[in-house]
Amino acid sequence: MKKLVLILMVLLPGYRLFAQQEKSYVKKGNDLYQQKKYKEAADNYNKAVEKKNGSVEGQFNLGDAFYKQKQFDKASEQFNKIAESSNNKAVAAGAYHNLGNTLLENKKLEESIAAYKKSLLNNPKDEETRYNLAYAQEQLKKQQQQDKNNKDQNKDNKQNQDKKDQQKKDDKDKDKNKPDKDQQKKDQQQPQPDKLSKEDAQRMLDALNNDEKQTQDKLKNKKVKGTGGKILKDW
């Protein structure tokens, strides 16, 4: 796997892209930068930049000092300002290269790719910038694939959750349709009528018929006795 060649192009004494004389603030800032005292270096570069005819070298190295302090937004702003305002292709290429590195460190992959491409437009032979461009493109591809995987995973999780919710709903509906267990138990405790055999039923029917016959006989006898009266004699 490619590894980032994270090189900041710093305009230190002896690395001259300009014919102008270094100012005292820039020189002091460079000395402090080499001692890794980046905050103090930035203060001196700022003083150089504040001059009316501020040194481009001071502006450039101020961006590097911000980068070393992980103040990526300030560094990006500084490098972008240099790149867009410089008429020197070497300076613009270096500024865009450092802008690409800064954006890459700040997890802004698409913007860093654009900055590296601009750097190569100004200096097509810069292999370090070309390598960093390839690295940034590879990281962007991985990020997009990861985003896709996360999206698919979230979709699967939602579908699974929907299935669980539907199952809960179905189970709840089933419970509604089931007979009440308490009612079932109550019904089971109610006395059930005894079942009669065929023989018992016939005996009961015969007994009823016999009772009815006896009752009719009694009524008949009672009626005969009641009709007897005195016979009138014919005088």
pLDDT, tens digit, 9 for 90 and up, residues 99-113: 999 999 999 999 999
3-23 b/e (C-beta count within 10 Å ≥ 16 → b): eeeeebbbbbeeeeeeeeebb
For residue 128, give the amino acid letter.
E
Sequence-separated contacts (24+) of 152-158 with Cβ below 8 Å: none
Rounded mean pLDDT, 19-30? 67
CATH superfamily of 73-153: Tetratricopeptide repeat domain (1.25.40.10)
* Residue ranges, CATH 1.25.40.10, the chain: 73-153
Task: Fold for 15-69, please state it.
Answer: 1.25.40
pTM, two decimals, is 0.58
Instruction: Tell me the C-alpha distance between 53 and 189, whole Å.
Output: 106
The pLDDT score that the predictor gives to residue 231 is 34
Helix 72-85, helix 56-68: angle, nearest 10: 160
The pLDDT score that the predictor gives to residue 225 is 45
